[in-house]
Amino acid sequence: MLATMLIYIFGALAIFSGLMMILYRNPIHSALWFGLVLFSLAGIYALMQAHFLALIQILVYVGAITVLIVYVIALLNFDQRDLVGKVTILKGIAVIVAAILFIELLFYVGGLYVKGIAPPPEFGKAANIGLATLTRYLFPFEVISILLLVAVVGGVYIAKKD
């Protein structure tokens, strides 16, 4: 009962802070609202028995990524008036794509809800995630590590150029 209530609270918080994130003009505020979105997602993961995932979400996204975003925005020192953009064709396309994605997700998640899939009891334990990463999902795991390596090398290259 409490868990169901908390899921609704975290869900509402995620949607609210997501809206605030795109509605605020000040990028630092947006970044902090983004942090709250990620935090409430972590709450939802925790209520769905994925404790490890929830904690990693807080550790990586709230504790590191949000801080880095705030760090970069604070260092950029831009003029706020530059952020008020004009309506372009690209933005129109973005809105259409976002709408399609939203409808797709609605159908997909709606389907799951009707089926009422309950997680197995061993779901979300750190040991199982580690095992799955190193056996069944080894290839995607390695590919992602190469992707991250490429990003790091690219970052070093850009930093070294001047």
Partner 1 sequence: MFLIVIIKILFVVGVLLTFAALLTWVERKQSAVTQDRVGANRVQILGIRALGLFHIITDALKMFIKEDYVPEKVNKFLHFIAPLFPFFSALAVFAVIPFGSPIKIGGRIVELSIARLDSGLIYLFALSSLAVLGPVIAGWASHEKYALLGGMRAAAQMISYEIALGVSIIGVIMVYNTLDISLIVEKQGELLFGFLPKWGIFVQPLAFLLFLPAIIAENKRIPFDLPEGESEIVAGYFTEYSAMRWGMFFLAEFVEVAVVAAVLTTLFFGGWQFPYLFDDGFHFFGVWHLPYWLIVIIRILTFFAKWIFGIWFLQQVRWTFPRFRYDQLMKLGWKIILPWGLINIALTAIVIMLING
Complex with partner 1: residue 17 or 66, whichever CB lies closer: 66
By the 8 A CB rule, do 66 and 34 touch?
Answer: yes
Please identify which residue in 126, 132, 138, 144 interacts with partner 1, judged by CB under 8 A.
126
74-109: string of b/e by CB count within 10 Å (b at 16+)?
Answer: eeeeeeeeeeeeeeeeeeeeeeeeeeeeeeeeeeee
124: region left, alpha or beta (phi > 0 left; psi from -120 to 50 alpha): left
By the 8 A CB rule, do 134 and 141 touch?
Answer: yes
Task: Give least dist CB 98 to partner 1, A.
Answer: 28
CA 137, CA 143: separation in Å to the nearest integer? 10
Complex with partner 1: residue 15 or 64, whichever CB lies closer: 64
Complex with partner 1: residue 7 or 55, whichever CB lies closer: 55
Complex with partner 1: residue 14 or 33, whichever CB lies closer: 33
Check residue 131 for interaction with partner 1 (CB under 8 A): no
Q: Which stretch binds partner 1 (CB under 8 A): 65-73, 101-109, 137-145, 146-154?
A: 65-73
Complex with partner 1: residue 6 or 55, whichever CB lies closer: 55
Residue 2 phi, psi (nearest 5): -65, -40
Q: Which stretch binds partner 1 (CB under 8 A): 13-21, 66-74, 134-142, 150-158?
A: 66-74
Q: Tell which positions 14-43 bind partner 1, by CB under 8 A.
A: 28, 32, 35
Instruction: Give the residue ranges of DSSP H helices in 24-137.
Output: 27-47, 51-56, 66-76, 89-115, 126-134
Binding site for partner 1 (CB under 8 A): 28, 32, 35, 51-52, 55-56, 58-59, 62-64, 66-68, 70-71, 74-75, 125-126
